[in-house]
Structure 1
Amino acid sequence: MSPAAKITRPPVSALQQPNEAERLEVLRNYQILDTPPEKAFDDLVRLAAYICGTSVSLVSLIDAERQWFKANVGLTQYQETHRDAAFCQYAMLSNDVFEVADATQDPLFRQNPMVIADPNIRFYAGAALISPEGMPLGTICALDTEPRTLTEQQRDALRILAREVVAHLELRRARLQLEMEQQKLEGLLRMANNAAESMFVGSRNEIFVKQDHKLVRVHTEDIRYVEALGDYVNIYTSRERYTVYSTMKELEAKLPAREFARIHRKYIVCLDRITAIEGDTIAVDTGRGTDRQANPTTVPIGNSYKAALLNRLNLI
């Protein structure tokens, strides 16, 4: 037998068969099948091709009836093949680098459709991707259209690259799990906030506003009206004016809905402080307690808000 035809792999009968259902469950838990290319995996197959001196290199994952390529150099016309045509289904079960020097001389592969027709594979070497659970997922492999054999240094490099692929799979899985946990936490926080809001809506009696690098407590019963001013709003109480970075929508959501009304795109008023309505304007008392101002503040009513406002007033 010529050096090119020498088989440097263990016989198939010596390969250990895992529990296929369990293996597939581990593979699918990575949530990687049919995902777009990722640079980390692309870089590893490029490195494998450089090291092995081959025209093709793949990260191949073995699904139930197919092999699917997560990363692909030199065989880009294929995204997957049927599992029956996969050299990798044997290589992933090997305890070491699985090497076929010349597929046309190998009884197991000489009738393989990938050998007798395009892409005319002759050489194959693959190192198994073994999960931390001990399950084979697929391989990182190098292929060529010419017979060849690897040096021991090349085989060792392929083993190292296989461990790197698994490390990236684990990092990717950990990131996805972290994102899922974060989404769950955010969902729980939203539920808690919504529940709290539903419990306290209508009974909120204070807000905190940031003024001069400190938070100031403002009782909503002391707010007379709110005025929008660009990216800011002015909150007028009986004693102070507070200017805060906010929107009318955000502030409206924080005020007791039963006590305040949006009367204009730029104004929110306390219903209890309306002293008169004349045409398209409202007079708002800004005094303290029962002390009514002689000259109350006048604010406009927006046409789209007027009907809703009148419906909330006790008209005779």
Structure 2
Amino acid sequence: MNVPPISSSLLRTGVANVSSEEERLEALRAYRILDTSPEEDFDALTRLAAYICGTPISLVSLVDSDRQWFKSSYGLGVSETPREYSFCQYAMVSGGVYEVENATNDPLFRDNPLVTNDPNIRFYAGAPLITPTGQPLGALCAIDTQPRNLTDAQRDALKTLAREVVSHLELRRARLQLEQERAKLEGLLRMANDTAASLYSNGRTELFVKQDHKLVRVCAADISYVEALGDYVNIYVGTERYTVYTTMKDMLTRLSPRDFVRVHRKYIVRLDRIVTIDGDSLVVDGGRASSVPIGNSYKQDLMGRLNLV
């Protein structure tokens, strides 16, 4: 026969504050533990449980909707089994250590495939894993292939270790939440820094350029256009031209995007210095009229920046 899944009535009578299986599963999944990699903190507890109870197998079993999944598996080479065969679904609502001395003599388990076949369970003892809010998640269990029973000291130790499992689950969840909040904070800080940088860039009204071993202040409002020249750029200010070692990309970060627009891979112009646009070129006035070409890939952006009527 198949062992039936745990009933909702057993949940209600076994653990306080559990109103439904849906709430229990929600609590389990809130730990974000299912199908995660092995962790030494949990493996150490199953090793210790097996040692204390003198059994070849010990598990941290979390009871999902249709399976029991093992966060830690000592002495058993599988990661999950169907929930319908689970001993732990009964242990998690037992209120204490749920113990089966000889599963072949127990009418609930004697036909269970885990008893009649590998791993040939005979003895089972499970202490429930109960959250601080009273939700049962599964059990820390010890399993043997020979009939036996635990001493009172072993039962107390198993319950203590089960509480340690829950403590590790809580610490793990708190760490994940902290990492998530830190990621959110870092994202907000990056956004704030980007906004501040943008506002700072948008509000810049002057540049200092190196000329003849000195720095010359140039008002952004006086710049008519910028021209790329290999590894240098020419900055045209009125009748003056300043040649500096930089890139067009760098110049775009230093000039206000409200006032300047790139019209060609080699040219940036100040919008309020454009006098006329004729086909694929425009004329800027900065003390002397100059013709600047318009690149095909930049034309749409340029036209979108103009106040057309």
Q: Provide closer, same or farther for how the CA distance between residues 207 and 80 of structure 1 changes in structure 2, counting only shifts above 3 A.
A: farther
Is this contact kept in 2: 1:94–1:128, CA < 8 A? yes
Q: Deviations over 1:82-103 (max 9, x none)?
A: 2x32111221123333232322
Q: Aligned-pair distance for 1:171?
A: 2.1
Q: How does 1:276-287 map to 2 (within 5 A)?
A: none
Please name the residue that 2:256 is paired with.
255
The whole-number CA distance in structure 2 between the counterparts of 1:54 and 1:229 is 79
Q: Structure 1 residue 32 and structure 2 residue 30: aligned?
A: no
Report the AA paired with residue 158 of structure 2: L
The range that moved more, 147-156 or 131-140, is 147-156
Please name the residue that 2:48 is paired with.
47
The range that moved more, 179-188 or 234-243, is 234-243
Q: Structure 1 residue 142 and structure 2 residue 118: aligned?
A: no
Please name the residue that 2:213 is paired with.
none
Q: Deviations over 1:47-99 (max 9, x none)?
A: 333443333221111233432222223323342322x3211122112333323
Q: Provide closer, same or farther for how the CA distance between residues 309 and 113 of structure 1 changes in structure 2, counting only shifts above 3 A.
A: closer
Is this contact kept in 2: 1:127–1:159, CA < 8 A? yes
Q: Provide closer, same or farther for how the CA distance between residues 281 and 195 of structure 1 changes in structure 2, counting only shifts above 3 A.
A: closer
Is this contact kept in 1: 2:123–2:143, CA < 8 A? yes
The whole-number CA distance in structure 2 between the counterparts of 1:152 and 1:208 is 82
Please name the residue that 1:174 is paired with.
174
Q: Deviations over 1:242-276 (max 9, x none)?
A: 99999549727x7224x312255576443556899
Question: What secondary structure sits across from 1:44 in the alignment?
Answer: helix
Report the AA paired with residue 26 of structure 1: A
Please name the residue that 1:4 is paired with.
none
The whole-number CA distance in structure 1 between the counterparts of 2:236 and 2:150 is 83
The whole-number CA distance in structure 2 between the counterparts of 1:153 and 1:109 is 26
The whole-number CA distance in structure 2 between the counterparts of 1:165 and 1:129 is 7
The whole-number CA distance in structure 2 between the counterparts of 1:308 and 1:137 is 60
Report the AA paired with residue 54 of structure 1: T
Please name the residue that 1:114 is paired with.
114
Report the AA paired with residue 43 of structure 2: D
Q: Provide closer, same or farther for how the CA distance between residues 40 and 219 of structure 1 changes in structure 2, counting only shifts above 3 A.
A: farther
Q: Provide closer, same or farther for how the CA distance between residues 95 and 313 of structure 1 changes in structure 2, counting only shifts above 3 A.
A: closer
The whole-number CA distance in structure 1 between the counterparts of 2:62 and 2:161 is 15
The whole-number CA distance in structure 2 between the counterparts of 1:116 and 1:92 is 23
Q: Aligned-pair distance for 1:282?
A: 10
Gaps spanning 5+ residues in structure 2: where? 1-9, 209-216
Is this contact kept in 2: 1:62–1:138, CA < 8 A? yes
Q: How does 1:232-243 map to 2 (within 5 A)?
A: none
Alignment RMSD (CA, Å): 5.2
The whole-number CA distance in structure 1 between the counterparts of 2:155 and 2:229 is 70
Normalising by structure 1, report the TM-score.
0.62
Q: Provide closer, same or farther for how the CA distance between residues 245 and 32 of structure 1 changes in structure 2, counting only shifts above 3 A.
A: farther
Question: What secondary structure sits across from 2:148 in the alignment?
Answer: coil
Please name the residue that 1:130 is paired with.
130
Q: Deviations over 1:176-223 (max 9, x none)?
A: 43455456667778998999999x8xx94327999xxxxxx9974356
Is this contact kept in 1: 2:206–2:220, CA < 8 A? no
Q: Structure 1 residue 59 and structure 2 residue 60: aligned?
A: yes
Please name the residue that 2:204 is paired with.
206
The whole-number CA distance in structure 2 between the counterparts of 1:101 and 1:209 is 85
Is this contact kept in 1: 2:263–2:302, CA < 8 A? no
Is this contact kept in 1: 2:121–2:145, CA < 8 A? yes
Is this contact kept in 2: 1:235–1:243, CA < 8 A? no
Question: What secondary structure sits across from 2:14 in the alignment?
Answer: coil
Is this contact kept in 2: 1:228–1:247, CA < 8 A? no
Please name the residue that 1:73 is paired with.
74
The whole-number CA distance in structure 2 between the counterparts of 1:219 and 1:66 is 71
Q: How does 1:215-226 map to 2 (within 5 A)?
A: 220-221=220-221
The whole-number CA distance in structure 1 between the counterparts of 2:51 and 2:248 is 57
Q: Aligned-pair distance for 1:151?
A: 4.5
The whole-number CA distance in structure 1 between the counterparts of 2:244 and 2:153 is 73
Question: What secondary structure sits across from 2:157 in the alignment?
Answer: helix
Q: How many residues align structurally?
A: 279
Q: Provide closer, same or farther for how the CA distance between residues 152 and 205 of structure 1 changes in structure 2, counting only shifts above 3 A.
A: same
